[in-house]
Structure formats: C-alpha cells, structure tokens
Amino acid sequence: MSKTINLFVSHKGEDESKIEAFKKLMEKRGYDFRDSSIKESEPNRANNEDYIKDKYLRPSIDWAGTVVVLIGNNTHKSEWVNWEIEYAIKQGKKIVGVFLQGETDARLPEALADYADSCVSWNADKIDEAIKTNHTIWEDANGNPSAPNASSHSTC
C-alpha cells in the first residue's frame, strides 16, 4: 500500500544526488513522495536571498507536511539548511534528520540539533518510523541509540 506524503528535503547542494537515493530507499517501504525540494541542478536565475526565500523556499516548505534533512559531511556548514529548518519549525512542520549512508563523521546543522523531531541513520525502517509516528527516535549515524541533542557531532 502506497503512503503518499508531501516532502521537502533540505540538503547541502553537493548532496542533491542523494535525494533520489533517499526516495528509492523509501519506495521499498511503500512511499510515494511528492517532493518540493529546491535543486541546484534546476537553475532559477534568482540571486537575491529574500527573493529565493519568498518565491521558492517558503512556499515549498509550507506545502510539505514533513521536512527531511539529509545530513552529509558538510551539511552543518550550510546557512540555507539552517534557515530552512528554522522556518519549518515556525510553521509547525515535522523535522526528521537522516544521516547519509557512510557519512559517519557528519556534524549536525545547529538548527537540526535544536529542533529535530527525530534523527536516524540511513535505514528505511527507522526513517519510516520517524516520519509516521509522533514519538521521537534519536540515533547516531551508525544506528546506535543516542540521547537527544547529546552532541552536534555525529548524533541527533
């Protein structure tokens, strides 16, 4: 049975190719994502920060029911990812951090450490649980249980 959800995937531009890998991973669990993520590979010629936020990011996040943050080795350096998380929390969105496969040294973006509802490893069952339930799941990049916000290095 398909579970269709509206999703915004927050990510660092260099990890854009992982969005499709994420969708394929979750298709195995019956998900059909309607994705409003902003992709650098789809240029929009916008160069004004406020215009990008107003025209592209706010409507995309508003439309989504869940915001998934893909956590790679450099995601913590992205001001855009932190802004997207902070905006999403103000809109009452569920925020789920997902460590990218093999990124065991990834640090969390500050806003994700502060606001994530759950943070899980690259595991379809855990991601499914984090998206569809109201309880929090906290684990490190290797899938080991972790205390919420215990550290901004490799844990949620």
Note down pLDDT in tens along the chain; length 156 residues: 567 888 899 999 899 899 989 989 998 888 887 776 766 655 656 677 888 888 889 999 999 989 999 999 999 999 999 999 999 999 999 999 999 999 888 999 999 999 999 999 999 999 999 999 888 999 999 999 987 654 443 445
pLDDT of residue 146: 85
Pinpoint the alpha helices (H) of 74-134: 79-90, 110-115, 124-132
CA–CA distance, 32 with 110 (Å, rounded to integer): 29
CA 27 from centre of chain: 17
pLDDT of residue 147: 73
Q: What's the number of CA atoms in the CB half-sphere (13 Å) around residue 71? A: 33
CATH topology of domain 3-132: Rossmann fold (3.40.50)
Cα distances (Å, whole numbers) of residue 60 to 8, 10, 76, 88, 146: 7, 11, 21, 10, 31
pLDDT of residue 101: 94
Strands 3-10 and 118-120: unpaired
Q: For residues 74 and 105, is the Cβ–Cβ distance under 8 A? A: no
CA–CA distance, 26 with 45 (Å, rounded to integer): 31
Q: For residues 149 and 156, is the Cβ–Cβ distance under 8 A? A: yes
